[in-house]
Amino acid sequence: MEALSNAGNREIFIKTTFENMATSKGNGESELKELFVDELKDIYWAEKHLTKALTKMAKSATSDELQTAFEKHLTETENHVARLEQVFEVVGEKASAKKCDAMAGLIEEAEGLIEDTKEGTLTRDVALISAAQKVEHYEIASYGTLKTLAGVLGYPKAAQLLEATLAEEKKTDSLLTEIAEGSINESAKAE
């Protein structure tokens, strides 16, 4: 219960902070909207590049369950790209990407883990789950912030779209935990 309270307090703090940042720059745009759009461009790049990485991760997975989870999330990620394009439209901006250094680093780390683990082993699956959950946590943080910003800036439709993606990212993270704890981690220990 305390975690829920802390999460609620954190969201109130973030919302209040962002509301205080929403000062007009004189050209009709607020600094907050500029930040929001910049962050949209960042996650848009991230999602587009993640589609390629998920394809590679699915092919590299040993267990059918993990491979299926990656393939399912690939389809969701393609939908996330389309949803982000809707968000850009709702806020009156052209959809464009800006390199996301964080996602580029996470994808590079995932590729390194694939190279550093033996093909066909559950140890590789453990590494893939670790890499994927790092990506999910980055996305959860990004979408949570964007959803809050959309609300503060008066874009309820954008907030709704971002909330839908946030929910899917959280569900994927939970599924990866279930797969890891269900069998893969213990089975990998025996390799």
Residue 9 lies in a domain: no
Rounded Cα–Cα distance for residues 56 and 45 (Å): 18
Residue 20 lies in a domain: no
Could you report the per-residue pLDDT of 22-37, keeping only the tens digit for each? 444 444 468 999 999 9
Residue 147 lies in a domain: yes
pLDDT at 15: 56
Closest C-alpha to 134, from 57, 78, 79, 76 = 57
pLDDT at 9: 61
Could you report the per-residue pLDDT of 138-167, keeping only the tens digit for each? 999 999 999 999 999 999 999 999 999 999
Could you report the per-residue pLDDT of 46-81, keeping only the tens digit for each? 999 999 999 999 999 999 999 999 999 999 999 999
Task: Residue 142: give its domain's CATH number.
Answer: 1.20.1260.10
Residue whose entry in the numeric block shows the structure tokens 């990407």: 97
Q: What's the pTM value of the predicted model, to 2 decimals?
A: 0.84
Residue 19 lies in a domain: no
Give me the domain span that covers residue 189.
61-191
Number of domains in the chain: 1
Residue 123 lies in a domain: yes
pLDDT at 92: 96
Residue 8 lies in a domain: no
Residue 36 lies in a domain: no
